[in-house]
């Protein structure tokens, strides 16, 4: 018996690989077009690092007129959850990212290079595994998990490299006839790759991000087809990325140590190797140490977190883009109004060391993004968020016309307000504008310098009687505040007061603070004139009288 016959015995009914090579031809794309993929397990969970990869891949494929594929890596059934694929697609769509090819839900896909779910590609992997066996570059291995475990213990005890390689690869040189006999006898086996590499030989690999890296050659006879008949990651990676004609493998750098293996696999299979781009994962600091941001420990690891917090998707994408290419930030400053898609992303400018995730910085990006929204956009976005996460806020927003006025305060001008960095800030920022909610707060406010009750009443009633006119323009209103201050014995100018603070009990700023707190219940608010214009005459009178009459 020869290799060919052994291959036929193991994989009797599979197509010749030439069938697949023809079925999935080279893509006809423009020079420089990047074909890449996002390849998650169908766990339904999308990690920020995964999102970052998508943001970058989408940018790269858009700017080179390439192809962005969603491939589902479900060769480990343990990881699978119901609707996992749809959840992933939706989670990523929430951030404005669509795939050109690949799965669109559990069962459907688009594109000519499918199937895009590894569990549907079994016959393809078998064809290539068979090819390797025919070439004498793969073989059945009958070692049991127990035998493997024992071997590893011996290796550890002897302080030598662990693994299935060289003399430890017991079944590597098992005569074909013996192998066939075992198979016929029903002895369980898996299929291993037969490595021709040597530990003492060095190879140099050029990674697009990390530059040149030297490794010893791979000499491990890794398994390519598991007992369940499915391929291992390494084998599937080689077959899929070749057949899908992927040009750039962009993945987290936990894979760098597999490069020698992947290189040997591609070479042995006769595939052209893609460009490898290994980026550093997003980190988290804990007890002064860095670690990968974790699904279990860190809520911000899940992209759903940003949705729940109400951080707008474009803000998250911009922040992630900035982690990818830190010159994005200066581009953004130079082009404050351009869409992010105009930024030219450069893979080789990605950082080789991991960045610690900085929520504060994200929030800064976010508040700038939000500050550019129109009041209509604000309203729509906030309402959509509130419908999902805050029914009380949703309720406030029912009066659209009035809500729009509130969102219009200090918005749309050259220096828009920047006190909101996420939708979950909104309720607190606007709630006092609604009479009913405001009344619920009572009137035990924290006033500023002037906090004598009678004095406050005197200020408010004088204001209402002599100076309040809702039709005043801003300058007139402003001047009247000064007049009010002066008439009550306070300094009309802050500067004058500061020069001779003993001359007055306070200044116009203190007076307006009284008015501000009385009207809003807080010392810090956006422009008081605008607030009063939105509140309107009746609401103002009602709010002030409540205090005067108390």
Partner RNA sequence: GGCCCCGUGGUCAAGCGGUUAAGACAUCGCCCUUUCACGGCGGAGACAUGGGUUCGAUUCCCGUCGGGGUCACCA
The per-residue b/e assignment along 155-164, b for 16 or more CB within 10 angstroms, e otherwise, is eeeeeeeebb
For residue 532, give the DSSP letter: H
Indicate the angle between helix axes 528-535 and 537-548, nearest 10 degrees: 100
Residue 289: strand pairing partners: 286
Q: CB-wise, 134 or 318, nearer to RNA?
A: 318
Q: CB-wise, 162 or 461, nearer to RNA?
A: 162
CA distances from 545 to 304, 381, 478, 535 (A): 46, 36, 21, 15
The per-residue b/e assignment along 359-381, b for 16 or more CB within 10 angstroms, e otherwise, is eeebbebbbbbbbebebeebbeb
Alpha-carbon dihedral angle through residues 483, 488, 492, 495, given to the nearest 10 degrees: -170
| Alpha carbon distance 380, 384 (integer Å) | 6
Find the shortest distance in angstroms from Cβ 380 to RNA: 22
Q: CB-wise, 416 or 536, nearer to RNA?
A: 416
Q: CB-wise, 27 or 405, nearer to RNA?
A: 405
Find the shortest distance in angstroms from Cβ 79 to RNA: 6
Chain-centre distance for alpha carbon 37: 16
Structure tokens at 261: 């293996």
Find the shortest distance in angstroms from Cβ 112 to RNA: 23
Find the shortest distance in angstroms from Cβ 398 to RNA: 26
| Alpha carbon distance 142, 140 (integer Å) | 7
Find the shortest distance in angstroms from Cβ 387 to RNA: 26
Find the shortest distance in angstroms from Cβ 16 to RNA: 25
Q: CB-wise, 21 or 273, nearer to RNA?
A: 273
Q: CB-wise, 29 or 151, nearer to RNA?
A: 151
Find the shortest distance in angstroms from Cβ 358 to RNA: 4
Residue 213: strand pairing partners: 205
Find the shortest distance in angstroms from Cβ 65 to RNA: 27
Do the strands 211-216 and 202-207 form a parallel or antiparallel pair, or are they unpaired?
Answer: antiparallel
* Contact predicate 219/198, CB 8 Å: yes
Find the shortest distance in angstroms from Cβ 136 to RNA: 21
* Contact predicate 28/67, CB 8 Å: no
Residue 507: strand pairing partners: 491
The strands making up 67-70's β-sheet, listed across from edge to edge, are 35-38, 67-70, 101-103, 109-110
Q: CB-wise, 5 or 228, nearer to RNA?
A: 228
Q: CB-wise, 73 or 309, nearer to RNA?
A: 73
Q: CB-wise, 25 or 188, nearer to RNA?
A: 188
Chain-centre distance for alpha carbon 107: 25
Q: How many residues does the chain have?
A: 550
Q: CB-wise, 123 or 410, nearer to RNA?
A: 410
Q: CB-wise, 289 or 398, nearer to RNA?
A: 289
| Alpha carbon distance 126, 231 (integer Å) | 8
| Alpha carbon distance 106, 70 (integer Å) | 12
* Contact predicate 92/54, CB 8 Å: yes
Question: Residue 322, exposed/middle/buried by CB under 10 A (0-12, 13-18, 19+)?
Answer: buried
Find the shortest distance in angstroms from Cβ 48 to RNA: 14
Structure tokens at 504: 């007055």
Nearest to 388 by CA among 304, 299, 279, 289: 304
Find the shortest distance in angstroms from Cβ 306 to RNA: 17
Find the shortest distance in angstroms from Cβ 325 to RNA: 8
Q: CB-wise, 159 or 398, nearer to RNA?
A: 159
């Amino acid at each position: 018996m020869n290799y060919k016959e052994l291959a036929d015995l193991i994989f009797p009914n599979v197509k010749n690989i030439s069938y697949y090579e023809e079925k999935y031809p080279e893509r006809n794309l423009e020079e420089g077009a990047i074909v890449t993929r996002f390849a998650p397990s169908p766990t339904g969970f999308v990690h920020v690092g995964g999102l970052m990869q998508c943001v970058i891949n989408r940018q790269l494929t858009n700017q080179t007129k390439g192809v962005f594929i969603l491939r589902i890596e479900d060769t480990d059934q343990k990881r699978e959850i119901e609707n996992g694929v749809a959840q992933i697609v939706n989670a990523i769509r929430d951030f404005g990212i669509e795939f050109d090819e690949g799965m669109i839900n559990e069962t459907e896909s688009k594109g000519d290079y499918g199937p895009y779910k590894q569990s549907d590609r079994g016959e393809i992997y078998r064809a290539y595994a068979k090819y390797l066996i025919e070439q004498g570059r793969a073989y059945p291995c009958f070692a049991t998990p127990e035998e493997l475990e024992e071997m590893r213990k011996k290796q550890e005890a002897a302080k030598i490299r662990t693994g299935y390689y060289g003399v430890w690869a017991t079944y590597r040189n098992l005569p074909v006839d013996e192998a066939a006999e075992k198979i016929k006898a029903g002895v369980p086996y898996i299929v291993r790759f037969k490595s021709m590499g040597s530990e003492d030989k060095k190879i140099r690999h050029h990674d697009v991000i990390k530059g040149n890296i030297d490794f010893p050659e791979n000499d491990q006879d890794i398994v390519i087809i598991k007992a369940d008949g499915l391929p291992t990651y390494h084998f599937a990676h080689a077959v899929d990325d070749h057949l899908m004609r992927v040009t750039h493998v962009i993945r987290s750098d936990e894979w760098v140590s597999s490069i020698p293996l992947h290189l040997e696999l591609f070479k042995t299979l006769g595939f052209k190797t893609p460009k490898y781009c290994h980026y550093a994962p997003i980190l988290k600091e804990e007890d002064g140490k860095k670690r990968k941001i974790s699904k279990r420990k860190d809520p911000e690891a899940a992209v759903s977190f940003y949705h729940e917090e109400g951080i707008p998707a474009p803000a998250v994408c911009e922040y992630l883009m900035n982690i990818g290419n830190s010159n994005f930030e200066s581009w953004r400053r130079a082009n404050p109004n351009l869409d992010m898609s105009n930024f030219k992303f450069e893979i080789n400018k990605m950082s080789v060391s991991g960045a610690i995730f900085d929520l504060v910085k994200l929030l800064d990006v976010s508040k700038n993004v939000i500050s550019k929204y129109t009041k209509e956009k604000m309203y729509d976005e906030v309402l959509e968020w509130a419908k999902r996460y805050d029914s009380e806020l949703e309720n406030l927003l029912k009066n659209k016309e009035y809500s729009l006025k509130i969102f219009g305060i200090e918005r749309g001008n050259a220096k828009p307000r920047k006190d909101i960095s996420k939708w979950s800030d909104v309720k607190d920022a606007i709630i006092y504008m609604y009479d009913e909610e405001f009344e619920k707060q009572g009137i035990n406010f924290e006033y500023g310098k002037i906090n004598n009750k009678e004095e406050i009443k005197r200020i408010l009633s004088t204001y209402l009687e002599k100076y309040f006119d809702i039709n005043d323009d801003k300058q007139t209103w402003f001047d009247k505040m000064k007049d009010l201050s002066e008439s009550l014995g306070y300094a009309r100018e802050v500067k004058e007061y500061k020069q001779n603070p003993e001359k007055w009990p306070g200044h116009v700023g203190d007076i307006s603070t009284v008015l501000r707190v009385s009207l809003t219940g807080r010392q810090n608010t956006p422009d008081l004139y605008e607030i009063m214009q939105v509140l309107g005459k009746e609401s103002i009178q009602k709010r002030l009288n409540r205090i005067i009459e108390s």
